[in-house]
Amino acid sequence: MSSGGLNPPNSRSTSAAKLIFHFFPEKAEKIGVAAIEELADGISVPLVLHTNYGSSFGSTNKQRHDGYREVLEIMSRIVGIDGISMEYEEPRYTGDLLKACGDKHVIVGLLNLGTYDVETPENIAARIRDALNFVPLERLHPSTDGGMWHFPKDIAFAKLKALVEGTAIVRSEQRPLLKP
């Protein structure tokens, strides 16, 4: 039977890696960390790892995963990785979870990709303010929860516009704290 795609018959796919990290953190610690550190060795540009629960397409309410904090803690210890990009909005995590990212940059997903409802800039600003209680301004980067390929262009644009406007609200509040 063909494995399909670009994966040779005996390779481990990215789907398998997701399963290891999300559902078997102890295996992630043993296998995944060393593999990622080997891949990162010698790369001189900033590297970011992204973690999520899979596509939101067809999902209206993702549940929080008990192992997510442990996964983030493992990722925070990986040498050669500068940041963690994480799904955050759809399961409605709170800022306390961000402490698990250690001293990495945090690309925090603030758009729920499981609904066509467009977030308000005010809600996004409130979520950023909460995150700033746990991650310093210079390491927090607002983003989406993941890919937006399944949205009609007008919805995707409106969601991204709300993200930009919400970020601008907080940026204007923080302006005195930013160095030139």
What is the model's pLDDT at position 177? 59
State the burial class of residue 116 (Cβ atoms within 10 Å of its Cβ: 0-12, 13-18, 19+).
Answer: middle
Q: Which residues pair with 50 in a beta bridge?
A: 85
User: Which position has the token pair 């399963």?
Assistant: 19
Cβ density class 68-91: b for 16+ within 10 Å, e for less: bbbbbebbbebeebebbbbbbbbb
Output the pLDDT for position 35: 86
Token reading at 105: 């940059």
Digit-coded pLDDT (tens) for 57-82: 555 566 656 778 888 999 999 999 99
Please give the domain boundaries of the chain with CATH numbers for all domains.
Answer: 14-175 (3.20.20.210)
* Least confident piece of the model among 17-21, 27-31, 115-119, 134-138: 17-21
Helix and strand totals (H; E) in the chain = 6, 4
Q: Is 148 exposed, middle or buried (0-12, 13-18, 19+ CB in 10 A)?
A: middle
pLDDT for res 67: 77
Q: What pLDDT sits at residue 98? A: 96
pLDDT digits (tens, 9 = 90+) for 11-50: 333 444 444 566 677 777 878 888 889 988 999 899 998 8
Per-residue pLDDT at 11: 34
What percent of the chain lies above the pLDDT cut of 70?
77
Per-residue confidence (pLDDT) for residue 102, from 0 to 100: 97
Q: For residue 24, what pLDDT is reported?
A: 72
**Phi/psi class of residue 110: alpha, beta or left (left: φ > 0; alpha: ψ in -120 to 50)?**
alpha
Strand-pair partners of 108: 86, 142
Q: What pTM does this model have?
A: 0.79
- 149-172 per-position pLDDT tens digit: 889 999 999 999 999 999 999 999
The one-letter amino acid code at 177 reads L
